[in-house]
Amino acid sequence: MLFSEFDIEDGTLDAIVAMGYEEPTPIQQQAIAPLLSGRDVVGQARTGTGKTAAFGIPLVDRFRAERDGVLGLVLVPTRELAIQVAEVLTDIAKASRLSIVTVYGGAGFGKQNEALGKRGAKIVVATPGRLLDHLDRGTLTLDEVSFWVLDEADRMLDMGFVRDMRKVRSMLDTDRIQTALFSATIPDAVRKLMNEFTRDAVRIKVDDGETTIPKAQQFMSKVEKQDKQKTLLHLLAEEEPERAVVFTRTKHLAKRLSKKLDGHGWSSVALQGNMTQGQRERAMDAYRSGKARVLVATDVAARGLDVPGITHVVNFDLPDPEQYVHRVGRTARNGADGKAFTFVQSDEHKDFRLVEKFAGRQLDRLPLPCPEESPRGPDAPVQIPQPQQQPRRTKPGPRQQGGGQQPRRQGGGGSRGNGRRGGGRRGPRRPSP
């Protein structure tokens, strides 16, 4: 199926092509058509399935810039997700010139008031609390809204936004409002909300097997707590990621680890819960622009993080089963290649088996020797064997033909300066002539 098969405007289609989208993902195939026809939709899909475009394309395609007032509304749980959703909608809306405005807490009202007023917002992407603040101040009205989206509804409920969501719903015109609700999971609380907010909704569920990003190569390595930092440094030196995310369990560890990476020549930024909005935006700007190649983040960034070209994900700490899918979903997007590495301590194997069960696959076992145990010394890069199911793209070398070990460069981090792109080494290193 192609995007051209949907009944969408030529300008919208051109924008989609310019964004690099080729074929719709399963959630897009199932959601776009009913949303274009005016039906309510409930979509159960995890991060990385393309759900932003699944509701964004019908949302943008419906409205024209000449109409007055705010026409569409997207509610999201976090500031980061608000910014990222707005960026996708802005790209889709390039031809229609619809004004997309974000409003979220942790930032001043001045610029948001100006954007809502002077730019004539047509679609607002908002967190629930700040949206209600603007409604109370009279800087925003919902009188003309006919299409609203609840993105990551389960997360909004977890964060205690249910009353705010109901209050917003009470301000919308019940007779004409169209609702799209997307959620990674559908627990009883979300089901109750779904029955309350939607009418004769089309139900869509993307199976877990389609949401774990099958193109991503996924590895599990046994690494003890005291060895994790050195092993991470060796792994980065070997893989040479173009853009990586390292997930940690705590905000304090994220800050310490980012400083550690900086001290070893890896430009990195941390993203964690104690940062002001200005600090968050500066960190993400550095990461998106390429000034920082590594983002060290807590799970505050696991959902909603949508940065093109993430080639590597490292689970420095073992995540919960569901969170694993959200983390790994940051790489191998839109048909690109990607790798995910998970460090597992000796006392975490029971929890790790639950991760594999939830993900619906067995991760490839990748032995990563502790740097002190490596016969080549603590500064030698760790050897990353290529998975057998992935064909090599280089000419067979002596290591492949005869099974012997090739000489390797020493010096770990010094190998990053060759300007190689594409997310890491594609084949075995060859000795210098």
The per-residue pLDDT string of the chain (433 residues; one tens digit each, 9 = 90 and over) reads 889 999 999 999 999 999 888 789 999 999 999 999 999 999 998 766 789 999 999 999 999 766 788 999 999 998 888 988 999 999 999 988 899 999 998 888 999 998 898 667 999 999 999 999 999 999 999 999 999 999 999 889 878 899 999 999 999 998 899 999 999 888 899 999 999 999 999 999 986 554 445 578 999 999 999 999 999 999 999 999 999 999 999 889 999 999 999 999 999 999 886 777 678 788 988 998 999 999 999 876 555 677 888 999 999 999 988 788 878 888 887 778 899 999 999 999 999 999 998 888 899 999 886 555 444 344 444 444 444 444 444 444 444 444 444 444 444 444 444 443 344 444 444 444 4
How many angstroms separate the CA atoms of 215 and 217, rounded?
6
Compute and round to an integer the Cα radius of gyration of the chain: 23
The domain 215-383: what is its CATH number? 3.40.50.300
Question: Residue 72 belongs to what H/E stretch?
Answer: strand 72-75
* C-alpha angle 287-292-293 in degrees, rounded to nearest 5: 95
- Those residues whose C-beta lies under 8 Å from the C-beta of residue 402, and which sit 6 or more positions away, are none
Q: Which two tokens mark 93?
A: 């809306």
How many angstroms separate the CA atoms of 321 and 166, rounded?
30
Q: Give the per-residue pLDDT at 184.
A: 84
Could you give the C-alpha distances from 412 to 4, 371, 428, in angstroms and in order? 48, 11, 15
Q: Give the per-residue pLDDT at 36.
A: 96
Question: Residue 182 belongs to what H/E stretch?
Answer: strand 178-183
Q: Give the per-residue pLDDT at 401.
A: 45
Q: Give the per-residue pLDDT at 376.
A: 39
How many angstroms separate the CA atoms of 98 and 101, rounded?
10
How many angstroms separate the CA atoms of 23 and 240, rounded?
30
Strand ranges, E, within 290-376: 294-297, 312-315, 338-344, 364-365
**Residue 30 CB: number of other CB atoms within 10 A?**
19
How many angstroms separate the CA atoms of 155 and 399, rounded?
49
Look up the CATH architecture of domain 3-209: 3-Layer(aba) Sandwich (3.40)
How many angstroms separate the CA atoms of 421 and 433, rounded?
23
Q: Which two tokens mark 231?
A: 């092993």
How many angstroms separate the CA atoms of 120 and 64, rounded?
12
Q: Give the per-residue pLDDT at 6.
A: 94
Cβ neighbourhood burial of 37 (10 Å; 0-12, 13-18, 19+): exposed
Q: Let me know if the fold of 3-209 is the same as that of 215-383.
A: yes
Domain ranges of the chain: 3-209, 215-383
